Structure 1
């Protein structure tokens, strides 16, 4: 082992010490409760297997084995061979039930350097057979493979020998299944196995001698990586993870023996701990009430009759996946140029002459303002500084069809933009405001006047008037009023027709303000919808109004649970909520961590006959890229929520 690799392992081990308890040493404690002896042996012929997994087809039970000489081998309960590929070299595979008594197998074949997908199902005579479904060449040998079922989709996690992992969405096709990369995952060297706890939506990864990691399997959630089993449990050489979903157990094969843990409880005491007399297992499972074990490159399955741990008392479904309606995006914009948390807030300009030529304005809060068409193509990038939020209003003007304003944090103030009838956006400069850190922004209109509301991240909500002169570059910004804020506010939207302003206090709820009364010094904001951990989960971010007569709604980003809440137009009544999920056919990922959003009820062509909702995507996946904006047809939202 090189000095560099040793140093890397020492650093990670030190971090693990910190994660599982400051000052705690990582002495190896592999004490077992008993030794298992005298197993029943199922002898195999020319298999050289290092992984097994039980499965059922029809009323019969089988064992699937990886084979370094014959690819994959299926045997019966008595050890008789049922089916085999008789070609290829496989050490690792993943197995997933597909329903209807069929199974899906992913295996890394060392001879071809490919991950191969196969179906396992009965033939016309009821005998199990392998069916080739597709494959994908990979750059490095794969150390771990495991499936994840997410809603009605199957995902595959593949981690190579360098520790670089990738999540793939599998796309069933008549000719050949496809692999669409969702995101990369980084672990470092010496990963030996992975498994997925679908009940809780967790990916488990064994990385000896560092321990077993647990993290969220859903790419639209925070990774939330944690130590599930500390490195002082199994010793320095372990792997062979297998999930007993029915019992709620994680089984671990180690050089020192076999362990089982409660899948609900990280860093808990093992439910089962046995050494195997003279055996160093690399793969274990439970079938028919017995413990099954394999040694490395073995030609024998060992079956132990031993009391097994009872199923956990309570097997809870993954609470993060609260059932709610889902919709999918029809389009997405090109990623912003800046990395990290950069895309923030969109605005929609409806082209009155040709609505299909409308524009989306989106902020890159590290660089400037972007302009996109309805297909998401980047048309303009205006490098005006760190603009955070943007809003616009139509304008009756000789040169411009609309004005857009954005909060600018490079030089604290408001950046103004003119939008021509052809959809070209021109920068009209910046006017400074006496704010420590400009944050949220929205516009309102009253009697032909244009007003801007802007929050200070370290202060209040400010109202100013924008006055456009004969020369558009010589506009004025005139302070008018100030509303004290108790908490942080970014999202806001004005209902010009009713003279109301809505703003979101991120950890408290939605406030409504009568604008005329406020300007007259008489109005006070009302809290119309509270953060309750259910309908609204903090942070509360973007807000917009879908205006269409009696079918008008306030749309709010409930960032804490990656959803969008609809309220009545006045904000007083909750109507429903939804999430934006993957669109596999178009290769567009779901949406999470949304900051800003905008919506219009204008018909924008065949894809958006009832309007469009545009939302910022905090995690741009499929594949991973810089943040962007997603476009969702309002028709799909109305159908999902059964709106009138």
Structure 2
């Protein structure tokens, strides 16, 4: 018996290729413990189940079972049937407490080829538990794993089919039935058989024999960071049957003839509980009332075991949750850029003084050119002028143009210039080269009617150049005025023209402030006014904008490392607050993350933006997954959430 088990472990390790060899496999003290024998069993009436989960209704304990013959079956702790579906064939389900003595269950029904949502709740009239239908979504392939996640007050469902294709949905009430709004797809190989979400750390755990158990971020606005949680050589050939004890911080699973528990905070650690079961191979195991309840595959009985259970994980009890950063939903979004991958980067806003409804959004596609959008996000025009990275604009007094927009161009190192007419027509005025290795960040500066650009070299410092338009704007010139050495990479910058001040972000250090007039005169040096502190400002420091409205003026900075936006006082010295951009399910708009560029204006831009508009680049465009784009956020919503004066 022991020799067969050892050979199975070696085979799993060879297939997975995760560890060097079988000589590394040794049994922990927990694995060497005695074999458990069941104390009693609960007979099931024609259920044929391979999954069970505990729940409580009206202070009574119940067990929910998947049934290949009857769909879903609910029994009380004595084994008496409390509720069941009229039919259906279910092998996998997910269960989540909803509050108000109600549970949400998602089950894949093989007969209808649907993922069905139901509420498990007590009928107010009769007091009896029931299974209320809420909605369903068709599935192209049978589902191998289902699990819920609660994120920012919403219910997310992960569904992974037999081909290894996973879908993340937000499930929510809409009209007469609940809706499944797809957030993204996830890709695994075949043989996935279980998943679970650790709510405390927001990690999605996926069982995939013979490779092992994976851990990845459950939040779609973060990198996946897929890692091995338990390697296959620690588990054998057959494992799965996930159930999370969130109170104790343990992942429970089945492995061959064993039931095991792992500390959710300690990936790749030994099991904190591992017991072989006498004369059975479990496929689903849970705890209820201090007892271990176990099912075999396609079983018609629940076996109960008594064992010394592991104490709550000390790491989980000591974990201190950080205060939640406030969230503000976007009102609109632009069409995705044409280029795939990391492409959208930096926006600018032109306010049409004659009709604000005809104002424009300029957005860079750093793989192809500059895009022009309406305020509702519709793409109006594309300028394929090269790999433009950052864009900014200023109003001008000129017979042909109401404003000039400048963009850093990395295809031919230099600056591309655009003119915007009174009617909102945008014209390309060509490119002027600069002696830079890789033009990167850019912001415009206006002083005494003169137009300047600050432009950073990706591997160098910041450079100030004057734009000389002349009588023929297509023959404009670019003249170098000054250079500022910087120790590391700079992209985001913004100039306060009125105060003759430049703010720029050294990505790993923080926000610097520079007195431009003093610097040009050879007297001024930059000051670090907001350092990266891994809480209010988290590297990388990226896009910047100035919300200018008298005493209520703010510097807005993209804190890319934690997908948030930080507000400082206008001089950059005082932290005011921070927020994240959240989903707007009613409009089908996801939140934003990994933001490079942003822009903000205090101009009243219609009913949706009466106090101004913030535009942020979105590095992960979800709901569903598409190429990158820009999100539009009402400043009034931000001011309300942060209680700004």
Q: TM-score range by the shorter chain?
A: over 0.9
SS of the residue 1:551 aligns to: coil
TM-superposition CA deviations, 1:395-444 (whole Å, max 9, x none):
22222111100000000000001112222211111000000011000000
Is 2:523 the partner of 1:528? Answer: no
Given the two structures, how large is their TM-score scaled by the length of structure 2?
A: 0.96
Of the structure 1 ranges 153-162 and 420-429, higher mean CA displacement relative to structure 2 is found in 420-429
What is residue 598 of structure 1 aligned with on the other side? 599
What is residue 98 of structure 1 aligned with on the other side? 98
TM-superposition CA deviations, 1:290-344 (whole Å, max 9, x none):
1111111110011111111111124259878641211110000001111111100
SS of the residue 2:427 aligns to: strand
Q: Is the 8 A contact 2:447 2:497 kept in 1?
A: yes
What is residue 303 of structure 1 aligned with on the other side? 304
Q: Is the 8 A contact 1:29 1:235 kept in 2?
A: no
Q: CA deviation at 1:596?
A: 0.3
What is residue 118 of structure 2 aligned with on the other side? 118
Q: RMSD in angstroms over aligned alpha carbons? A: 1.7
Q: CA deviation at 1:32?
A: 4.2
What is residue 5 of structure 2 aligned with on the other side? none
Q: CA deviation at 1:39?
A: 3.5
What is residue 66 of structure 2 aligned with on the other side? 66
Is 2:290 the partner of 1:289? Answer: yes
What is residue 553 of structure 2 aligned with on the other side? 552
TM-superposition CA deviations, 1:571-620 (whole Å, max 9, x none):
11111111111112111111110000000000000000000000001111
What is residue 490 of structure 2 aligned with on the other side? 489
Equivalent residue runs for 1:178-189 within 5 Å: 178-189=179-190
CA distance in 2, matches of 1:504, 1:535: 14
Equivalent residue runs for 1:25-424 within 5 Å: 25=22, 31-123=31-123, 124-315=125-316, 322-424=323-425
SS of the residue 1:73 aligns to: strand
Alignment CA distance shift 1:547-1:369 (3 Å)? same
Alignment CA distance shift 1:28-1:51 (3 Å)? farther
CA distance in 1, matches of 2:231, 2:536: 37
Q: CA deviation at 1:76?
A: 1.0
What is residue 579 of structure 1 aligned with on the other side? 580
Q: CA deviation at 1:86?
A: 2.6
CA distance in 1, matches of 2:352, 2:289: 67
SS of the residue 2:132 aligns to: strand
Alignment CA distance shift 1:465-1:321 (3 Å)? same
CA distance in 1, matches of 2:186, 2:472: 53
CA distance in 1, matches of 2:236, 2:309: 22
SS of the residue 1:50 aligns to: coil
TM-superposition CA deviations, 1:233-270 (whole Å, max 9, x none):
22011110100111111101122311111111101111
Q: Is the 8 A contact 1:199 1:317 kept in 2?
A: no
Q: Is the 8 A contact 1:108 1:115 kept in 2?
A: yes
Alignment CA distance shift 1:575-1:315 (3 Å)? same
Q: Is the 8 A contact 1:200 1:316 kept in 2?
A: no
Q: Is the 8 A contact 1:537 1:558 kept in 2?
A: yes
Alignment CA distance shift 1:366-1:96 (3 Å)? same
What is residue 607 of structure 1 aligned with on the other side? 608
CA distance in 1, matches of 2:15, 2:364: 37
Structure 1 segments unaligned to the other structure (5+ residues): 1-9
Q: CA deviation at 1:469?
A: 1.9
SS of the residue 2:346 aligns to: strand
Alignment CA distance shift 1:320-1:485 (3 Å)? farther
CA distance in 2, matches of 1:13, 1:225: 19
CA distance in 2, matches of 1:414, 1:11: 59
CA distance in 1, matches of 2:199, 2:463: 48
Q: Is the 8 A contact 1:604 1:611 kept in 2?
A: yes
What is residue 7 of structure 1 aligned with on the other side? none
CA distance in 1, matches of 2:23, 2:480: 62
Of the structure 1 ranges 611-620 and 250-259, higher mean CA displacement relative to structure 2 is found in 250-259
Is 2:462 the partner of 1:461? Answer: yes
Given the two structures, how large is their TM-score scaled by the length of structure 1?
A: 0.96
Alignment CA distance shift 1:320-1:360 (3 Å)? farther
CA distance in 2, matches of 1:517, 1:538: 29
Is 2:467 the partner of 1:498? Answer: no
Q: CA deviation at 1:173?
A: 2.7
Q: Is the 8 A contact 2:413 2:436 kept in 1?
A: yes
Structure 2 segments unaligned to the other structure (5+ residues): 1-9
Alignment CA distance shift 1:301-1:180 (3 Å)? same
What is residue 518 of structure 2 aligned with on the other side? 517
Q: Is the 8 A contact 2:121 2:130 kept in 1?
A: yes
CA distance in 2, matches of 1:267, 1:467: 62
